[in-house]
Structure 1
Amino acid sequence: MDARSTEPAISWTGCVKLPADFKTNSVTATKDGTILANVQMHRNATDFISGNITGGVWEWTPKNKKLRLLPGTELPGNNGIEMSPDETEFYIAVSGTQTVAIYSRADTSRPARSIKTPFYNLDNIHWSGNRLIAAGMMFDEPACGGTRKQIQDAHGNMNCHRGWVVSELDPKAMRWKILAYGEPNPAFGGIATGLVIGNTLWISSFQMDRAAYRTLPGPPSVAASCDPAMGLAFVCGMKRPEDLLQVGTSKYIVFGGSASGGGVGLIDTSARTWRQLDVTQARPDRKLYPDCPAVPDPKVLHAHGIALRPTATAGLYKLYTVTHAPFESIQIFALDARAGEPALSWTGCVKIPSDLHTNSVTAAGDGTIFANVQMKNGAIQADYMVGKITGGVYEWKPGDKSWRLLPGTELAGNNGIEISRDEKELYVAVSGTQSVEIFSRADKSKVLRSARAGWFNIDNIHWSGDRLVTAGVIEDEPACGGTRKQIVERGDNLNCHRGWVAAELDPVSLHWKVLSYGEAIAEFGGVSTGQVMGDTLWLSSNQMDRAGWRTSAHPK
């Protein structure tokens, strides 16, 4: 290729033939003319999606003029390949394991280093200026019905358009930085390569008749409109509806408003409307809850996290709310849905020490309350974002005079909490590690099982029917300039709107299933809870005046 003039031109020089049973995916070369052919499949090996070894790297040198397999480079779906600038290493993108395997040219018997992508399949990998950039499709794509292996096993459509990700890899520090991502689009699929030219990202496709480009993401502007955006519609006018739950199997959602005076509200999901619930009606149980003589002032009462527990009477529930004003407490209400539209009556509260900042609550059938304290002893939000231990789970039982810390539950940013159906386990969402830590109630001194999400922050976690559903914001958000830890260290805006994910966790197998996700937009940020009602996903927000909903996995 001659690029000495304004527009490059090419002239044919020759070729190196490959065996007919080679399905070569990519190529790189050195300055001396050595060629490395990255063979994705050869002979009858084709099923790399199931993790089988299918390919390898073959080397051709001008001196020997023969192809030679580099032992140790046989991988499940060799895909892209690139050479290091000093030509001492080469980088292999591996589709079957969603990893980049880095080999020393001096010893290819095993990778010198390896790194897995958090949530997408790797296709091509190339230098773009001084950036090593990889691109590919979402691994677990709800619009397609799951992972590619799940689609293959179900004999589904492997050409379904998936969302996409372009990211930069630091091959020394072995650290990813997401540059941009997008949802499925019928106009563009099969994303394979990303290049950055100035402030523009160019993306290739192996499925379509086109290439695409977009400006690299920046912080979304603030928008006051309640109009639909990016596949989401909204119910607006609330005071930061941080947490929400479906009332039984009804059409109603109860939510807590986390801003001052946000109180408790009700969404009619059929009418797509909401109203404030009256919290002043009282039927106090002062024997069980002696801490509070009267209903808190509704002008300041708000509800951060909530929990809803059925009673022995069908249609009658206990509603627990985390409240910071007028004082730290768990407020308890009776929610009566027997007559159709739910109504509240205040039952009492359990005060919490003022130095404990509680985020969420759950309860057992015997009235035991578990308060998930995110910050205590003067800790601040920035502390858990950089991995410091800040919180813990506190237990209160009927008749107790005070709360008791459960040793072993002190984590880096305790966030949401839920109890297992049999009430034998607690599921604790942890913001600092993007994980769900599972504790046995019989022995809470250590984590029983752990499930890390990795690519999104886990905020609230709740049962939604028979699904254990969690939601939160994208961890490495290019529109905000990186991870929340990086934002804290730079002193930038933590309220920048991030993209979001809602996912289902199997608490036994610890398998994640992505239900839906979306890009960063001005109209919606701070996603914290997901509830699935029929074919509709409802989302809460800890930043906005609205709840969001969408009726399918992704916009068409």
Structure 2
Amino acid sequence: MIKQLAAVLCVLSTTACIDDEMKISGCEPIGAIHPVCDMQSPEDIAALNDGHHLLLAHFGGMHNGTGSLALFDTRNEGITPLFPPASGVVDIDGADWGEPDCGPPPLDTFSPHGTHLHQLADGRWRYLVVNHGGRESVELFELLGDGNSSELAWRGCVPAGPETFMNDVVGMSNGDLIYTRMFHNSSQLEKLLSALGKNTGDVWRWNRRSGLRLLPGTDANQPNGIEIAADERHVFVNMYFTGELWKVDVETGEVVARAPVASGDNSAWGSDGRLWVTTHDDSIPNLLSCFMTQTEPCGAGFDIIAVDPKTLAFESVFSHRGAPMGAATVAVPQAGRVYMGSFVGDRLISVPDFGSN
């Protein structure tokens, strides 16, 4: 821990300890890595069932920044804005999925973070979005149409509990949702305590009839990305600074298994049937340098770790550092490629699908 604090002080005092690979210019492919630039940071990505499109959550940063939601066509790399609506007005007809007294989000401060696209028991597709803008909430959208005609209709929201800064969320077919509380207030003091090893968050479940409840036993240091099993009996939670991936019973909160997968950001189901966890494996000075400018890409190294959901056996299936993009947050297969976003910068990258074989 002393080494971590020394590294933080190093970044605060000088840039001498930051590698040159952290700064990236240009937007050229490198080997098999293909960048798509001129967009706001796509921190989280969800693949549509049509096999061609992605939903992008454009991240504005951890504090005060704003963002948006967009549709990405993998065939022509076109981007269609979806939310906030161009009209500046949110249609509240049919908004009956969340808490009854929760109105539309303030559009001028909308700030998306973690997301989850899933199918409800009635066949409709629900897109969950963690929002930090103007309030701490999960915004509930219905995905309508298909292909390039896809639209997002706002269907309600779930306010976070008190003293909560969320990171990611997943939904269940019965309408419940489960989210990670990363911090209580995300203050500089809490971040310092986190660096010293203090637990800062936990996992919560919401039900429309009974409201919010803590999943006991999920207290950890910076809970981050979360993904849910196909049978909805367990969630897989990346406990970033605890340095583990936890398999958690969604009813009891019991941690039924752990894997030493450290610094895990977001997760997604891979084309090989395993859970793909995007992890950050660079030095603390290099990682912290990524936060210096939200709009510029960062070259911090990352690993995609494939995890067997039954045994939690794991292996690295892809890693990269430097241009054309580092600091990846998520890896999602679609249309024969794997698409990766970041929490900073102006781009995403893709590579041939390393899980298809």
- Short-chain TM bin: 0.7 to 0.9
Partner of 2:249: 440
- Checking the alignment, whether the CA contact within 8 Å between 2:120 and 2:175 is kept in structure 1 is no
Match 1:533 to one of 309, 322, 334:
334
Correspondence 1:26-175 to 2 at 5 A: none
Partner of 2:38: 237
Partner of 1:450: 258
- Checking the alignment, whether the CA contact within 8 Å between 1:529 and 1:539 is kept in structure 2 is yes
- Checking the alignment, whether the CA contact within 8 Å between 1:525 and 1:544 is kept in structure 2 is no
Partner of 1:225: 26
Per-residue displacement from partner, 1:173-195 (whole Å, max 9, x unpaired)?
xxxxxxxxxxxxxxxxxxxxxxx
Question: Aligned in 2, Cα 1:217/1:432: closer, same or farther, shift over 3 Å?
Answer: closer
Q: What is the distance in 2 between the residues matched to 1:385 and 1:237?
A: 34
Partner of 2:314: 512
Partner of 1:468: 275
Partner of 1:23: none
Q: What is the distance in 1 between the residues matched to 2:288 and 2:302?
A: 20
Q: What is the distance in 1 between the residues matched to 2:311 and 2:30?
A: 35
Question: Aligned in 2, Cα 1:287/1:524: closer, same or farther, shift over 3 Å?
Answer: closer
Question: Aligned in 2, Cα 1:537/1:288: closer, same or farther, shift over 3 Å?
Answer: closer
Q: Which runs of 5+ in 1 are unaligned?
A: 1-215
Q: What is the distance in 2 between the residues matched to 1:458 and 1:230?
A: 26
Q: CA offset at residue 512 of structure 1? A: 1.3
Q: What is the distance in 1 between the residues matched to 2:251 and 2:97?
A: 28
Q: What is the distance in 2 between the residues matched to 1:313 and 1:442?
A: 22
Partner of 1:269: 74
Q: What secondary structure is seen at the aligned counterpart in 2 of 1:242?
A: strand
Q: What secondary structure is seen at the aligned counterpart in 2 of 1:319?
A: strand
Question: Aligned in 2, Cα 1:269/1:327: closer, same or farther, shift over 3 Å?
Answer: same
Question: Which letter maps to 1:356?
Answer: T
Q: What secondary structure is seen at the aligned counterpart in 2 of 1:359?
A: strand
Q: Does 1:414 align with 2:223?
A: yes
Q: What secondary structure is seen at the aligned counterpart in 2 of 1:305?
A: strand
Per-residue displacement from partner, 1:335-364 (whole Å, max 9, x unpaired)?
114465321110011111463110000111
Q: Does 1:400 align with 2:201?
A: no
Q: What secondary structure is seen at the aligned counterpart in 1 of 2:174?
A: coil
Partner of 1:389: 199
Q: Does 1:292 align with 2:292?
A: no
Q: CA offset at residue 392 of structure 1? A: 0.4
Per-residue displacement from partner, 1:272-328 (whole Å, max 9, x unpaired)?
2222114435334247432323x32333212100011113566x4100000000210
Q: What secondary structure is seen at the aligned counterpart in 2 of 1:460?
A: strand
Question: Which letter maps to 2:100?
Answer: P
Q: May I ask how many residue pairs the two structures share in their alignment?
A: 320
- Checking the alignment, whether the CA contact within 8 Å between 1:279 and 1:344 is kept in structure 2 is no
Question: Which letter maps to 2:266?
Answer: N
Q: What is the distance in 1 between the residues matched to 2:44 and 2:195?
A: 21
* Aligned-CA RMSD value: 2.6
Question: Aligned in 2, Cα 1:267/1:219: closer, same or farther, shift over 3 Å?
Answer: same
- Checking the alignment, whether the CA contact within 8 Å between 1:332 and 1:346 is kept in structure 2 is yes
Per-residue displacement from partner, 1:392-451 (whole Å, max 9, x unpaired)?
0111101235x222221111110001111111111111111332101112431x421011
Question: Which letter maps to 1:261?
Answer: T
Comparing both chains, which one has the higher relative contact order based on Cα–Cα distances under 8 Å and sequence gaps of 6 or more?
2
Q: What is the distance in 2 between the residues matched to 1:229 and 1:383?
A: 39
Which entry has the higher C-alpha Rg, 1 or 2? 1
Q: Does 1:375 align with 2:183?
A: yes
Q: What is the distance in 2 between the residues matched to 1:221 and 1:439?
A: 35
Match 1:423 to one of 208, 224, 232:
232
Q: What is the distance in 1 between the residues matched to 2:205 and 2:343?
A: 25
Partner of 1:548: 349
Per-residue displacement from partner, 1:200-228 (whole Å, max 9, x unpaired)?
xxxxxxxxxxxxxxxx9923253342222
Q: What is the distance in 2 between the residues matched to 1:439 and 1:302?
A: 28
Q: What is the distance in 2 between the residues matched to 1:543 and 1:380?
A: 22
Partner of 2:55: 254
Q: What secondary structure is seen at the aligned counterpart in 2 of 1:228?
A: coil
Q: Which runs of 5+ in 2 are unaligned?
A: 1-16, 292-297
